[in-house]
Structure 1
Amino acid sequence: MTEQRAAVVTGGSRGIGRAIAQELASRGVAVVVGYQGAADAAAEVVGTIAAAGGRAVAAQADVADETAVAAMFDTAERSFGGVDIVVNSAGRMALSPIAELDLADFDAQHRTNVRGAFVVAREAARRLRDGGSVVNLSSSVVGLQFPAYGAYAASKGAVEAMTLVLARELRGRRITVNVVAPGPTATDLFLRGKDDDTIGRLAQQPPLERLGTPEDIARVVAFLTGPEGHWVNGQVVRANGGII
């Protein structure tokens, strides 16, 4: 009997992380739904997975807190016997022209997006079973250079750099390490503060002429962490409908 694979998904209570947790569970993966503050939303995700016949538990953790992240991995090992997949979807976005950005917002964003990604990646490197997968979430704004996204794009550029280094450091363990960089995606985080005209303009930019959905991104992550995608390693996949 093949042992069930298990995943840790940070930011798993809402948006893209929620879709990833549910997609992995639908493919037979046991999931730790990581969350920072939305306990009710995380419990709802766990309940939805369980109702569909899957296995999931929720685990609270600030991704920038190494002790909390270690405890989240402990939960995975205690509940499911180990960790095979780590998806870091937790993130923070503060938009402002560079000249006007409050540095407190800069620091908070980088604490979650950069330090958090590093802490989760470090724990993944220590805990993943051989043959596993890591996926970090970046953003297509790293290449698109939208105004007001300077600090956010900088944080995600750092995520891409560390992820590609980790892919090379894990040589010999058959572990893949990749980045998925969504384009404009219809999540609360993305839609917040944008008027209908702005949303409509962004939706028309990709050749596919729509915003992405969390499910679009989740299916890319599921491919990369499944057997079909295991030959893809050390790459940045810009899942954005062709926007350039």
Structure 2
Amino acid sequence: MTHPLQGKIALVTGASRGIGAAIARRLAADGAELVLHYGAGRNEAQALAAALRDTGTTVHLLQADLAAADGGQQLVAGLAALKLPRIDILVNNAGIAVFAGLADTRADDFERLVNVNMRSLFFIAQGVVPLMPAGGRVINIGTAATRIAFPGITAYSGSKGFVDALTLQLAAELGPKGITANVVAPGAIETRMSGWINEPGGKETLAQVQALPGVGQPEHVAGVVSFLAGPDGAWTTGQVIDASGGTKL
């Protein structure tokens, strides 16, 4: 079995469950040493770390509350305390959704959305990129909802539009240093955040808008991240790579 990320160190935010945990498992299988960030899911993060360590993966745990205004800086300070020699791969996966339209979005929900999906991502990148050598990878998890309109997630979609725009700028700014920056944009993925899929009519609704049959799994997203993190992704930068099963083509 090949290990294309052998000798690499990857930081995955929001890694305690769902897409983040799947990304962590895939990068571990590819041979990477891992830094797993979590917010409130300490028990889940510890269980994942223990399982990965049982496979021989070196795993570090890192807690930070990204909903706080200084959440990104908290994470960067915690990372510095680990005294790792570098970070080769940064996966900004942590994110929250607000399921509300324009009229129903509350100010406090909007502020939390901005802190987690925008502010923390920016300052994590600001703090981690200086630790990256040439060949580094910045991989941000976005959403297909910046390409297509879905009623009822107005602020969430806007926050992920920031991720797309920031990633394009990072690709241009970091390219001379040999660092790539890309977005992976999932559609509906079967996680705790997408509980509506398993509600009555959820799968039927999905089948009407998706080109591929079935329900997207966290591992589908992790596979795209693996490509971008590995040697085959070395010449891809500034891109939004759709991982939505062909939603609303």
TM-score of the superposed pair, with normalisation by structure 1: 0.93
Q: Residue 103 of structure 2 aligns to a residue in which SS?
A: helix
Paired positions, count? 241
Query: Is contact 1:8–1:73 with CA below 8 Å preserved after alignment?
Result: no
Query: Is contact 2:91–2:138 with CA below 8 Å preserved after alignment?
Result: yes
Paired amino acid for 2:173? E
Q: Residue 181 of structure 2 aligns to a residue in which SS?
A: strand
Hey, what does 1:19 align to over in structure 2?
22
Q: Residue 7 of structure 1 aligns to a residue in which SS?
A: strand
Alpha-carbon shift at residue 192 of structure 1 (Å) = 5.4
Alpha-carbon shift at residue 186 of structure 1 (Å) = 0.4
Structure 2 matches for 1:191-202, cutoff 5 A?
191=195, 195-202=199-206
Hey, what does 1:181 align to over in structure 2?
185
Query: Is contact 2:73–2:124 with CA below 8 Å preserved after alignment?
Result: no
Hey, what does 2:86 align to over in structure 1?
82
RMSD, aligned α-carbons: 1.7
Paired amino acid for 1:170? L
Which shows bigger deviation, 196-205 or 23-32?
A: 196-205
Q: Residue 135 of structure 1 aligns to a residue in which SS?
A: strand
Paired amino acid for 2:110? F
Q: Residue 196 of structure 1 aligns to a residue in which SS?
A: coil
Paired amino acid for 2:231? P
Q: Residue 155 of structure 1 aligns to a residue in which SS?
A: helix
Q: Distance in 2 between matches of 1:72 and 1:137?
A: 22
Q: Distance in 2 between matches of 1:104 and 1:241?
A: 33
Hey, what does 1:131 align to over in structure 2?
135
Where in structure 1 are there 5+ consecutive unaligned residues?
A: none
Match of 1:73 among 72, 79, 84: 79
Hey, what does 2:165 align to over in structure 1?
161
Query: Is contact 2:16–2:45 with CA below 8 Å preserved after alignment?
Result: yes
Alpha-carbon shift at residue 134 of structure 1 (Å) = 0.5
Structure 2 matches for 1:1-244, cutoff 5 A?
4-63=7-66, 64-75=70-81, 77-78=83-84, 81-191=85-195, 195-244=199-248
Q: Deviations over 1:82-140 (max 9, x none)?
A: 21000011001110121111121111111110111111221232221221100011100
Paired amino acid for 2:193? L
Where in structure 2 are there 5+ consecutive unaligned residues?
A: none
Q: Distance in 2 between matches of 1:221 and 1:158?
A: 20
Q: Distance in 1 between matches of 2:33 and 2:132?
A: 14
